[in-house]
Structures are given as C-alpha cells and as structure tokens.
Amino acid sequence: LNVVGANPVDHPVHAPYTVAGVTIGDNYWPSTGLDEGLSSSTDLNVDMIGTYTYTYTLTDPSGNGPVTAVRTINVGDKIAPVATVDAEDTIVVEVMTKFTFPKVSYSDNYFKNAELGTEWQGSLMPTINTERILTKLGIFTLRFVVDDPSGNVTTVERIVRVGDFTAPEIELAGE
C-alpha cells in the first residue's frame, strides 16, 4: 500500500482537494480482489490553514492486515492581501500644510482585516512632523503596505510632490 504522488502535499486554502489515491498490491490477491478491503479517512478541512492527514487502510480477503499509508496535507495561504489607495498616482500638495493620508481599503482571502498588518512607508514619512505638516519640498514616495500572518505582502505606492505653490505676500508699511 503506497500513496501516489507527493507526500507531504502543500495545498492552497479554500481550494478543492483532489485525492491522488494509493497503489495496492498483495503476494496472492490481485488488486481487483483487494478493493473491498481498502478504506480511507481524513480530517482534511480545505477552508482552514493547518496540517491534515489522509489515511488509507488495507486488509486483504484472507484477513491479513490492516496496513496503512498516510498522506500529509499542509493547507496554507500563499495569496497576498488586496489593497487599494484612493488617490491619483501622483499626489500634489502644498509645503507647510497638514497632510491627509489617502483613504485605503484592503482585504485578504483568508484572514480578517483586524489580523492584517498595515503601515505607511516611503521617503515622504520623515518629512511629516508630529502634527502631520509637510516640512520639505521635493518628490517623495508613499507606500501603503499590508501583510497577512502567512507572510504574504502587498505594497501600493504613490508619488507625492510637495511644492511651494503660494505666491509671496507683500504688505505696504505706513500710509
């Protein structure tokens, strides 16, 4: 009794599992005569990340056995979260003004949003003071990064152009 194919098997969460099966043989009985003595059981749940087994048991018509073969199935998440940033590819803002981070939405094929890690990164971040005021002129990157507990990561990047677009003011002194 031998499992057919890879063992262990890495399998994506939420995907249907196709049983690869086993090969059977005996020193006396032909394989067609062994079919009635073959059974299988599993604790496989393709909708939950984890390690599962598919156990095959064979007893021949003479009562010899049972013998077993076990396939290990590792159900895992290899799909990165999906993220969108509600902003143009290039964001143009005035220096010395309060920066408003763009609205973001994100989701994952397996984990709830509360389980995902999120962070703003990029060269823009050091130019924002504690009051979120943009303090430097230039062209910067702004990245929204979201990752799931399986280690899958998605990054969405925008360019931020911080400029001085306000004309100077002049005030006459006196009458």
**In terms of C-beta density within 10 A (0-12 exposed, 13-18 middle, 19 or more buried), how is residue 123 classed?**
middle
| Cis preceding-peptide flag for 102 (omega within 30 of 0) | no
Residues 97, 127: Cα–Cα separation, whole Å: 12
- What is residue 175's predicted lDDT score, i.e. its pLDDT? 76
Cβ atoms of residues 109 and 47 within 8 Å: no
Question: What is the average per-residue pLDDT within 98-109?
Answer: 98
pLDDT band for position 118 (50/70/90)? very high
pLDDT band for position 92 (50/70/90)? very high
pLDDT reading at 136 higher than 80: yes
The pTM for the full model equals 0.82
Residues 92, 171: Cα–Cα separation, whole Å: 28
Residue 111 CB neighbour total at 10 angstroms:
17
pLDDT band for position 174 (50/70/90)? confident
- Report the chain's mean pLDDT, rounded to a whole number: 96
Element (H, E) at 33: helix 31-34
Tens digits of per-residue pLDDT, 11-51? Answer: 999 999 999 999 999 999 998 899 999 999 999 999 999 99
